[in-house]
Structure formats: C-alpha cells, structure tokens
C-alpha cells in the first residue's frame, strides 16, 4: 500500500472573517502527480500555504509524511516553488549560487552547477539574483526546489514567466522525476498542462468541486456545470493524448 504523503482533513481558512477555503479534505499518496485547478480566488495557493504551515487554518488538520504539521520536522523532503518571489528587492545581494544552495543541509554535497545547467542558467551562477529578469529568477527558484532532490515537490504556477521551450523542458523534467517516485503537486491555471501530466485532479472553488482520478473526472457528467463542456473535454482530451495513467 502506498504511503500517504499529504493528508488534509476538513480544512477551513478565513481571512478577515471571509472563508477562503471551506472544509477541504484530500489525500496525496507517494508517487502521485496531483494537479490543482480552479479560477482566480478559488483558494488554490491558500490551500498550499496551509499545507506548508505558512498560513494557519481556522479548522481542520494537515499531516505530512504521516506526521501532524505542528510537529513535522522533515522539511528537507519538500521542495516548494511559490507563485512568485515576494517583492524581491532589486538590491538583494544574494548570488544565484547562494540562493540555490539556501536551506541545504550543511555538509551534504550538492552539484549546484549541474542543476543550474539543467535549467540553462549555469553562466549566471555568480550573478546577483536581483539583477536577473523575472524569467531567469524563476529558473533559479526552480533549480532551488529541484536541487534538494525532495520526495515531494509543490509547484504554484511554476512556469508563468518562462518561454515555451523552458516550460516544456521543466514539465518533462518533473514528469521524469515523478516516474522515478517523486510525488508532485502542481497548481496551475493551465488545465491543458494538468491534463497532460497529472494523474489526479483537485478542482477547487473555495471547497472541493472534484477530487479524484482523471477517469472519474472525464466520466462524470456533473462536472460540465462547473467547467463548461469545452474545458472538461479539453482536459480529458489532453490526458488521453498524453496516454495518462489513471
């Protein structure tokens, strides 16, 4: 039986008295590739931040790798790429190499240059991150998430600022990692990408609209009311085209 990497039970999060997510439960098993979709303000990023302990839920609980979140201590097993680097200071003095190695366990040998090469930014290793373009900064952050070789990767709109070539390379890379056993949670507006790579889908609109496999999703007639026939059809078509395993 596959071990549970993430378990969320009846999670509710409020901001200024308004429900941002309401009674959300989900389970992510080892080796899963879960795509989280939903419109703007549907609570996708808020859910991720609750899972990672960045935000504190009003109700409910989160378990990571079988441990309750408040006592969770295996953070090296998680790689996270936030939606955007929060208001990065143009004058921030960290070099690309410093940022990519940030948070690595001391004494653990890492091949920074190899990871940077993978992202096509090896030549920027000694540049200051504040002086890079947004797309280059995003590649640095991707390298930072990948270098830890984590068991669980969480991406929140990871390829927004990337060119199509780098985007395809990124998804192909994460797909390979998933096939080698890395659990992936991907938040994106791009339902086509989710359909192509993810095995399971969570559709949020403050609460769970759908959570399950693509087979169930595509077979469910009730979904059209939420997504529109075209959108549901497109996701399923992408999934079939990619030969998705369900």
Partner 1 sequence: MDLSNFFNYEFVQRAFIAGILIAAISSILGVFLVLRRFSLIGDGLAHVTFGSVAVVMLMGVSPLYITLAALPLVMISSIAILKLTGSKRIQGDAAIGIVSSIGIATGIVLASLSGGYNLDLFSYLFGNILTVTQAELLLSLMVFIIVVAAVMIFYDDLLAVTFDEELAQSMGIKTKRINMILFLLTAVAAVLAMKIAGIMLVSAMLILPPLTALQLSLSFKTTIFSSALISVLSVLCGLLLAFLLNLPAGGTIVMVNICFLLVVLGTKKILSA
What residues make contact with partner 1 under the rule CB under 8 A? 16, 49, 52-54, 72-73, 75-76, 78, 80, 82, 85-86, 88-89, 91-95, 98-99, 102-103, 106, 126, 128, 131
Q: How far is the CB of 238 from partner 1 (least distance, A)?
A: 29
Nearer to partner 1 among residue 5 and residue 52 (C-beta): 52
Nearer to partner 1 among residue 135 and residue 192 (C-beta): 135
Nearer to partner 1 among residue 80 and residue 170 (C-beta): 80
Secondary element (H or E) of residue 212: strand 207-213
Q: How far is the CB of 170 from partner 1 (least distance, A)?
A: 18
Nearer to partner 1 among residue 86 and residue 180 (C-beta): 86
Nearer to partner 1 among residue 131 and residue 215 (C-beta): 131
Sheet with 67-68, side-by-side order of all strands: 18-29, 4-15, 59-64, 67-68
Under 8 Å CB-to-CB from 214, ≥6 apart: which residues?
195, 198, 199, 200, 201, 235, 236, 239, 244, 246
Helices 164-179, 134-147: axis angle to 10 degrees equals 10
Residue 193 sits at φ, ψ, to 5 deg, of -65, -45
Under 8 Å CB-to-CB from 72, ≥6 apart: which residues?
53, 64, 65
Q: How far is the CB of 48 from partner 1 (least distance, A)?
A: 9
Nearer to partner 1 among residue 34 and residue 64 (C-beta): 64
Residue 14 sits at φ, ψ, to 5 deg, of -115, 145
Could you tell me which of 64, 44, 47 has the C-alpha nearest to residue 10? Answer: 47
Q: How far is the CB of 141 from partner 1 (least distance, A)?
A: 8
Secondary element (H or E) of residue 136: helix 134-147
Q: How far is the CB of 152 from partner 1 (least distance, A)?
A: 11
């Amino acid at each position: 039986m596959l071990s549970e990497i993430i378990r969320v039970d009846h999670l509710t999060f409020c901001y200024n008295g308004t429900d941002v997510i309401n009674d959300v439960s989900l389970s992510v098993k080892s080796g899963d590739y879960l795509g989280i979709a939903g419109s703007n303000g549907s609570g996708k990023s808020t859910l991720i931040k609750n899972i990672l302990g960045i935000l504190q839920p009003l109700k409910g609980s989160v378990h990571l790798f079988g441990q309750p979140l408040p006592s969770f201590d295996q953070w090296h097993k998680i790689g996270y790429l936030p939606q955007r680097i929060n208001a990065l200071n143009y004058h921030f003095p960290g070099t690309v190499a410093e940022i990519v190695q940030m948070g690595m366990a001391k004494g653990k040998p890492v091949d920074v240059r190899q990871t940077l090469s993978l992202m096509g930014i090896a030549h920027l290793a000694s540049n200051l991150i504040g002086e890079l373009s947004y797309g280059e900064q995003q590649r640095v952050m991707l390298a930072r998430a990948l270098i830890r070789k984590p068991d669980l990767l969480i991406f929140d709109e990871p390829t927004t600022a990337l060119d199509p070539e780098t985007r395809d390379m990124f998804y192909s890379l994460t797909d390979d990692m998933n096939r080698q056993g890395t659990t992936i949670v991907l938040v994106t507006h791009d339902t086509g990408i989710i359909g192509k790579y993810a095995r399971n889908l969570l559709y949020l609109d403050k609460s769970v609209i759908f959570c399950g496999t693509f087979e169930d999703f595509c077979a469910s007639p009730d979904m059209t009311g939420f997504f529109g026939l075209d959108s549901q059809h497109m996701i399923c078509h992408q999934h079939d085209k990619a030969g998705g395993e369900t």
